[in-house]
Chains A and B, each alone.
Chain A
């Protein structure tokens, strides 16, 4: 016996004890202290989720005619988990499939490989458990072959995938209003907490227009299949299976028949303007609203076919949509186009004058020119027309009357604040009235794209000057005291750009200068005038209806405010506008021969002169003259007088609404459908009772 051995045995005891205790400690750490986090990892380890995209809801017109619905596209998908279980790893199946689809072996193999940092498109960016779409719009014959010959194509299936379709009833294609679908962005994915397949071609969301605004309602809920899998990725069973739910349908107040007519009127008007020599007239906007704030038709020219978005837009197509040469067809000029309203703006100027104490029963002088603080302002080249009532000033659209009114108001309107360099200077009386009518502020319509226009308040001027005196357009750098006309203006703007001058007040009163409005704002203001002073936030959506026909939500145009104008003043203005389309009115020519006895149209022409460019032709109107129901606004930039271009277009639109002068009535008797279209659970849509529709 060796004593050293016994001593060293004790060391061995200690070592063994230490080893075993460290094992126990580590197990305690893993199982007891961190058990929960490993439970979560374990759940991840053994499940995989497969997403089935939901069928998107339709966008319908007020009678239930679909403007966006779903077409089915036959899509071939490959389930790589099935293929991997093949003895050859699925290469044989892929080879046969590539041959069948007329695709190269290489391309197909690339399509089904997984993307990672090294592997770039074509590849599959989603989960490997997700069936991978490899071809769409496949002919029926190929789909049938795949489905029947299962032994040859295990793991391959052909299924129907819904894709957006635009049926364009009666040519109705409010492309910019409908918007489009695009791949979900990472940011949207974060916001919506939606299960996504990770494949941009499947995870589409509305990226503009109604599709974006009502995306939540339209998109439905994707189906989710939670599979239990083993370490080899083989499916062991289905833990949970939730079927996708189809998205809700959106019923809009747009009337497809009228929409198609308005589009035609707008494009033919632009064409006619071009033929008359206004070669720059390539764009335009037209809107029909109810006086209650519902949009019945909205057309923006040039337009485009929204099906270019289906299945992914090409670079070339996208450039055409946003290109200047093609007129930026993606732009909704009704809500985003900002134009000088011209004389159509005189309704707010009249209201402001009454508020400032000018009498509606007084007489006003209409000279050939009016001197405002040393500058002569002409009445559009006309000779002196003498004394007249406010009614007549509106009917014949005398500019000098409004110059005088604006200058008069200017002189008693906090003149000291006009030179204050501060964003906090109070708003001018005239501009206060314009803002109250909804100008200079986004109208809050249910579209993501909407402009606010501009009203030259003192605050607005301050920011314009601040943004452009030394930065932006940098007036102070380019301005010359005696350079070109533009340089002179820049020089003046550099030094006095923040100052509210009498000349500005005068031309703002006739809707020019710094004033810019969207056709929607103008229509909305005329709706408020027509309905007795209620300014609504316009709405296109009317109701959201579930696929089973239940009304999920009704949409009503919310009231923004009542105009700060007496009802009698509004009635006086309406009466004056009724005179515009007859007698000596500026639109009398455009409406000559119009069956006024059937439908009386009240309106106001506008011709906004824009420096270095042709004029914007504007006509803002409502009908009937008493108890008005509809507002029609047409704006054609770079064309001619409002009476020459826009007013005749509006006349045609009224013809289409009421079925006058040989036109077919889009809204028979001038009545909109009563109630909502009925959607049955089988998917068939019935127009509201008494309304001949689908």
Chain B
């Protein structure tokens, strides 16, 4: 496949040599990593983050101190961008080497969450309290960790085979089960579903023979049926999963968020009420409107136009990720980039879908837009990985 020509003067990797050059010179040099950045992706991510920051500011107006939310989220974005740049500067073979550690760190974090060090917010024990009032949500890092480690497994088939077989798929499943089980203990149903779908998607993309993919699909469907039949879900989880279909049945209980989020979004109309001018936002009708229900705020205050812009920017991010996957030099790069695309795509769909009543209400933030440090950092690290893959593909053609 022809991925176009690039005007490299040197086949050397920028990671090697030129240790003496200043940072500025390196940045502007012909072989500078910045020159090989995916600027469209970066612009879309920054735009989403800034829109998100404004929405967070608006969404927290009913709180005591909306300004502090604004500042915190701006810091989150800034730190996220720095993290992204740092990661993007890594050679992605280095990333491959780091992948198991990221995965292990995330699993360790999930274990710590379940220990007495974990803290509970709105029913889910998903956070670790750090000194100085900071909190970390390890499940966000589990997403990038799982993507990386699956790509590692499928990216270099140790037994020398050309195409991954059921053995590899089983190994990947085993790796996925650990964070899935830990996330289930929190419980964070949204993350659980996302991790399973991502794992399944990456197995399908790995090149595993279709018959095995079909078998896995069948097994997965059977498992879903079994979960419902054997009542393995907690009753509130089952209510959550089904109430979006008939929210009016329990308008003050499980259907509450669906009903009021739809009213918020619907009442925004074409152009919305204007930022900071949404009466329902001001009255904080939907809980967690700065995190999981940030789209409700966008819907009321920015209208259809504002929501469409957010969806288009997300589309840019996801399609750039898929483009990077398609152009990746090797299987690892392809799988990492497409795994991230899957992650962002699924999470965006589930999150926006729940605010407009076509998906169950599960606790997943909207990538780059929702308030929260851990999510922002994890998302930005993923973008850094994408940039790294993007930067590398001509060299390892």
Contact = CB atoms under 8 A, between A and B. Distances in A.
* A, B: real partners: yes
Interface of A: 1-6, 8-9, 12-13, 15-17, 19-20, 22-24, 26-28, 30-32, 34-39, 41-42, 45-46, 228-231, 236
Contact of A12 (B264, B322, B356): B322
Contacts of A23: 311, 348-349, 352-353, 356
A376 B314 CA distance: 109
Contacts of A9: 205, 322, 325-326, 334, 338
A22 B352 CA distance: 11
B38 interface: no
B319 A35 contact: no
Given A38-B263, A231-B285, A4 B314 contact: no
Which of A31, A39, A228 is most buried by chain B, counting CB atoms within 10 A of its CB? A31
Contact of A16 (B262, B318, B352): B318
Contact of B322 (A13, A32, A37, A229): A13
Contacts of B348: 20, 23
A2 B206 CA distance: 8
Given A20-B315, A31-B299, A39 B269 contact: yes
A16 B307 contact: no
Contacts of B311: 20, 23-24, 27
A13 B264 contact: no
B27 interface: no
B318 A230 contact: no
B314 A2 contact: no
Contacts of A27: 265, 299, 304, 307-308, 311, 356
A138 B384 CA distance: 73
Nearest to B342: A12
A28 B163 CA distance: 43
Interface stretch (B97-105, B139-147, B223-231, B276-284): B276-284
A24 B308 contact: yes
A12 B205 contact: yes
Contacts of B260: 45, 231
A229 to B, nearest CB: 7
A168 B300 CA distance: 61
Interface in B254-274: 260, 262-270
Contacts of B330: 1
B270 A45 contact: no
B394 interface: no
Contact of B284 (A8, A19, A231): A231
Given A16-B345, A26-B356, A31 B269 contact: yes
B206 A38 contact: no
Interface of B: 1, 62, 162-163, 201, 204-207, 260, 262-270, 279-280, 282-287, 299-300, 303-304, 307-308, 311, 314-315, 318-319, 322, 325-326, 330-331, 334-335, 338, 341-342, 345, 348-349, 352-353, 356-358
Contact of A5 (B206, B264, B352): B206
B1 A6 contact: yes
Contacts of B334: 1, 5-6, 9
A16 to B, nearest CB: 5
A236 B352 CA distance: 29
Contact of A4 (B163, B299, B303, B356): B163
A37 B266 contact: yes
B268 A31 contact: yes
The 10 closest A-B pairs by CB, nearest first: A38-B266, A2-B207, A42-B267, A35-B269, A230-B283, A4-B207, A31-B304, A231-B285, A38-B267, A30-B266
Contacts of B315: 16-17, 20
Contacts of A41: 263, 266-267
Contacts of B62: 230
A394 B311 CA distance: 100
27 contacts: A5-B205, A5-B207, A6-B326, A9-B325, A9-B334, A12-B338, A12-B341, A16-B319, A20-B318, A22-B358, A23-B353, A26-B357, A26-B358, A27-B299, A27-B311, A31-B303, A31-B304, A38-B263, A39-B269, A41-B266, A45-B283, A46-B279, A228-B279, A229-B283, A230-B282, A230-B283, A231-B283
Nearest to B266: A38
A230 B279 CA distance: 9
A119 to B, nearest CB: 15
Contacts of A46: 279-280, 283, 285
Contacts of A3: 207
Contacts of B325: 9
A174 B303 CA distance: 64
Given A38-B262, A236-B282, 7 more contacts: A2-B206, A8-B204, A12-B201, A23-B353, A39-B269, A41-B263, A46-B283
B307 A5 contact: no
Contacts of B287: 231
Contact of A19 (B264, B283, B307, B349): B349
Contacts of A5: 205-207, 331, 334-335, 338
A229 B303 CA distance: 23
A232 to B, nearest CB: 8
A19 B315 CA distance: 10
Nearest to B265: A30
Nearest to A27: B307
Contacts of A20: 311, 314-315, 318, 345, 348-349
B69 to A, nearest CB: 18
A229 B282 CA distance: 10
Contacts of B303: 31
Contacts of A19: 345, 349
A6 B207 CA distance: 9
Nearest to A36: B269
A45 B264 CA distance: 10
A12 B343 CA distance: 12
Given A12-B201, A16-B319, A30-B356, A45 B263 contact: yes
Given A2-B207, A42-B264, A31 B270 contact: yes
A20 to B, nearest CB: 5
A20 B344 CA distance: 11
Nearest to B299: A31
A35 B338 contact: no
B270 A32 contact: yes
B283 A236 contact: yes
Given A16-B345, A24-B308, A45-B285, A32 B205 contact: no
Which of B267, B270, B319 is most buried by chain A, counting CB atoms within 10 A of its CB? B267
A228 B280 CA distance: 10
Given A9-B325, A31-B299, A45-B285, A2 B331 contact: yes
